[in-house]
């Protein structure tokens, strides 16, 4: 598949041909189940959109039954920005229901397959976006990352995923999961395309009250693969990963050293609390955000005997098990008797995590971590929700701290890719893009 950079040089008739070819390829690889809808809108370079980003007149369902029948009345800010740059939304990508998951197994539309090994998960929750780019049936796509949902599926499929700094990309029009953690970002074939798409979708938006109005310089034209940095490694943190991941980590460190970067090993204490803090905060916010799906305002309704009964029937049949579990836990941790014990404590831990990263960024420009403690796993392998949550250990703290991070494939174990991420200071996407660009070039 041609890259985004190449596609952006095509004229209108070439773009039409490209789309024709793309439709055929999508049909050929239907078995991946990466697309849940083939809606198109506009004549620009086709970009696949995760099913939780609003595109005017499209059915947008967050991978859920409860949103069947809902048609979006407006464009998310990122979609308006795509259109302004002569890019256009093309197809809806499968995802875990309401972006809750790490494997895309919880979608109402069924699982998405990993194109590298059809028996394995593509990661999640943006599994459709990553599988399509890796499978050669999308030039580039948009995903969302609340606790790793761009970086981990990109890593599991062998493509590049960027989670921007919190506040850098507008969340206006993104179906909210956990509002203090969610960010939209690109999933692309390479680092340069990532920078190009990031430049297009980022920037201040008055429609999102958490959007930053700090200066937003273009990154793609300033990409510098030769710049040398101080890169922190966290060996005590990586020892919990599988042998393959540890080996890939060590090899990546060696490559970075050879490229002329200075490697500084740091310790990260208290990592065992990251998963608990993340899930308490994410579920608390989700329980509140999902209150709006009541069978009255959006999508599918199951008529009951009265209003309350309609709410109950619509929600009980419209949400899947994982979403219900999170709404229950979210309400529990916010309830008056437990608020201090769980929610307030989790917020304190979040503060400590942020401080922990601040300390590291006093001595290093970026941090190298794996995207997951193991290779892409088989379908059904993590049927215990807690095991699934624990697999997020390397990605979730970055969202809790609001930092930017980019994941890229660094090596292959058989046919399975290993992804690593570079994490940067807030609003310093340029540095991690430079680091990733240099690393990608060295690995070619
Ligand atoms: N796996 C994490 C969760 O289930 C992250 C999901 C995401 O980033 N949307 O919450």
The pLDDT tens digits for 383-418 are 999 999 999 999 999 999 999 999 999 999 999 999
Q: 13, 56 in Cβ contact below 8 A?
A: no
User: Which of 166, 162, 161 minimizes the C-alpha distance to 426?
Assistant: 166
Q: 93, 51 in Cβ contact below 8 A?
A: yes
Atom of ligand 1 nearest to the CA of 181: 8
Ligand 1 centroid–CA 221 distance in Å is 32
| Separation of alpha carbons 174 and 125, rounded Å | 14
Query: Is the C-beta atom of 145 inside 6 A of ligand 1?
Result: yes
Which uninterrupted H or E stretch holds 367?
strand 366-370
Ligand 1 centroid–CA 307 distance in Å is 32
Query: Is the C-beta atom of 125 inside 6 A of ligand 1?
Result: yes
Ligand 1 centroid–CA 99 distance in Å is 6
DSSP 80-92: HHHHHTTEEEEEE
Residue keyed to tokens 């099913």: 51
Ligand 1 centroid–CA 180 distance in Å is 13
Query: Is the C-beta atom of 175 inside 6 A of ligand 1?
Result: no
Within 10 A of 3 (CB to CB), how many other CB atoms are there? 15
- Residues with catalytic roles: 50, 125, 149
Secondary structure of 301-353 as H, E, C letters = CCCCCCHHHHHHHHHHHHCCHHHHHHHHHHHHHHCCCCHHHHHHHHHHHHHHH
Q: Please state the domain extents for the chain.
A: 4-224+405-443
Query: Is the C-beta atom of 147 inside 6 A of ligand 1?
Result: yes
**Mutation choice for ligand 1 from 282, 390, 395, CB with most ligand atoms inside 8 A:** 282
Atom of ligand 1 nearest to the CA of 99: 9
| Separation of alpha carbons 228 and 300, rounded Å | 54
- φ, ψ (nearest 5 deg) of residue 314: -65, -45
Alpha helix stretches (DSSP H) within 85-228: 127-134, 151-157, 191-201
CATH number of the structural domain 4-224+405-443:
3.90.1300.10
Residue 125: cis peptide before it, omega within 30 degrees of 0 = yes
Query: Is the C-beta atom of 99 inside 6 A of ligand 1?
Result: yes
* Alpha carbon distances (Å) from 72 to 58, 179, 231, 383, 397: 6, 20, 43, 33, 32
| Separation of alpha carbons 305 and 90, rounded Å | 41
Query: Is the C-beta atom of 274 inside 6 A of ligand 1?
Result: no
% the chain with pLDDT above 70 = 100
Q: Do the bridges between strand 87-93 and strand 160-163 make them parallel or antiparallel, or are there none, so unpaired?
A: unpaired
User: 218: which 2 tokens?
Assistant: 């273009």
Q: 200, 82 in Cβ contact below 8 A?
A: yes
pLDDT of residue 86: 98
Query: Is the C-beta atom of 408 inside 6 A of ligand 1?
Result: no
**SS3 call for 131:** helix
DSSP assignment, residue 59?
B
**pTM higher than 0.95:** yes
Ligand 1 centroid–CA 100 distance in Å is 5
* Alpha carbon distances (Å) from 199 to 173, 221, 225, 427, 429: 18, 10, 18, 13, 10
* Residues of the chain with confidence (pLDDT) below 70: 270
pLDDT of residue 272: 78
**SS3 call for 97:** helix
């Amino acid at each position: 598949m041609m890259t985004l950079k190449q596609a952006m040089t095509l004229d209108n008739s070439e773009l039409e041909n490209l789309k024709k070819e793309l439709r055929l390829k999508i049909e050929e690889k239907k078995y991946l189940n990466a697309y849940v809808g083939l809606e198109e809108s506009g004549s620009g370079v086709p970009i696949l959109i995760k099913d939780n980003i609003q595109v005017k007149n499209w059915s947008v369902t967050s991978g859920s039954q409860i949103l069947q029948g809902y048609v979006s009345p407006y464009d998310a800010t990122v979609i308006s920005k795509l259109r302004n740059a002569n890019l256009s939304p093309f197809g809806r990508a499968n995802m875990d229901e309401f972006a809750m998951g790490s494997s895309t197994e919880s979608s109402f539309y069924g699982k998405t397959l990993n194109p590298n090994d059809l028996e394995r998960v593509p990661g999640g929750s943006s599994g459709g976006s990553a599988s399509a780019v890796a499978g050669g049936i999308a030039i580039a796509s948009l995903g969302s990352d609340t606790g790793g949902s761009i970086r981990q599926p990109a890593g599991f499929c062998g493509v590049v995923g960027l989670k921007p700094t919190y506040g850098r990309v507008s969340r206006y029009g993104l179906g909210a999961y956990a509002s203090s953690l969610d960010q939209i970002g690109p999933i692309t074939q390479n680092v340069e395309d990532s920078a190009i798409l990031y430049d297009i979708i980022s920037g201040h938006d008055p429609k999102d009250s958490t959007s930053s109005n700090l200066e937003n310089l273009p990154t793609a034209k300033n990409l510098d693969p030769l710049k040398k940095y101080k890169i922190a490694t966290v060996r005590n943190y990586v020892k919990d990963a599988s042998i393959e991941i540890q080996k890939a980590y060590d090899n990546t460190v060696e490559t970075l050293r050879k490229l002329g970067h200075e490697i500084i090993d740091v310790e990260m204490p208290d990592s065992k609390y990251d998963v608990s803090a993340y899930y308490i905060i994410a579920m608390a916010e989700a329980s509140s955000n999902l209150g709006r799906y009541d069978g009255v305002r959006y999508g599918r309704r199951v008529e009951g005997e009265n209003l309350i009964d309609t709410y109950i029937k619509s929600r009980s049949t419209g949400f899947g098990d994982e979403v219900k579990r999170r709404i229950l836990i979210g309400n529990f941790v916010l309830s008056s008797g437990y608020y201090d014990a769980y929610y307030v404590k989790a917020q304190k831990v979040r503060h400590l995590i942020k401080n922990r990263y601040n300390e590291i960024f006093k001595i290093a420009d970026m941090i190298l971590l794996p995207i997951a403690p193991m290779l892409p796993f088989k379908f059904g392998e993590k049927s215990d929700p807690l095991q699934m949550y624990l697999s997020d250990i390397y990605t979730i703290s970055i969202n809790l701290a609001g930092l930017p991070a980019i994941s890229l494939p660094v090596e292959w174990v058989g046919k399975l890719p290993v992804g690593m991420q570079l994490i940067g200071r807030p609003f310093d996407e340029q540095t991690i893009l430079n680091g990733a660009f240099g690393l990608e070039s060295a690995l070619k």
